[in-house]
Amino acid sequence: MSTTALQGLPPVIGRETRLLVLGSFPSVASLQARQYYAHPRNHFWPLLSALWGVDLVGMPYRARLAEVKRRGLGIWDVYASCRREGSLDSAIEAGVPNDLAGLRRRAPKLEAVAHNGGESARAMAVTRTLGVEVMRLPSTSPANASWSFERKLAAWREAFAAHGLA
């Protein structure tokens, strides 16, 4: 196990954020690129592209983030830092949580938190204290191979539509 703590990415949250997708911690590919969901087989950006009818995958990263914020979506992770070999959530050790309790200050219009997968959902006890809807969505990770893209899309579409984002 690595003894060096890995540092996560800054939140993509604006004053207009209504729905926050909360992951666990960035993958190795995401940390190297300094971009959320940078692994080419992660379904996050293709799912949003399908939901919104916009080719986010083909856009520069900054433009993706601008589109996300424009539509009222936020992106962040449960952990600010941790130790981990590889990218699997099961390998996370010594996780230091982000300031989830402070989300209401950062996003006063927040209506819901959507946990992206199981490791993120472990923080539901914290996110439920925010007084917003809290849900668990199927992970967009390539490790979640038991869910097809179409099945993930249906679950994500339902959550996004409930908050006016699809």
Kindly list the catalytic residues.
Answer: 42
Structure tokens at 134: 């809290």
Amino acid at 12: V
Q: Which of 120, 91, 123, 98 is nearest to 23 (CA)?
A: 120
Pair 142, 39: CB distance under 8 Å: yes
CA 22, CA 161: separation in Å to the nearest integer?
Answer: 17
Structure tokens at 80: 């600010």
Q: Which of 117, 140, 108 is nearest to 14 (CA)?
A: 108
What is the 3-state composition of the chain as percent helix, strand, coil, each rounded to the nearest 5? Answer: 35, 20, 45
CA 15, CA 52: separation in Å to the nearest integer?
Answer: 21
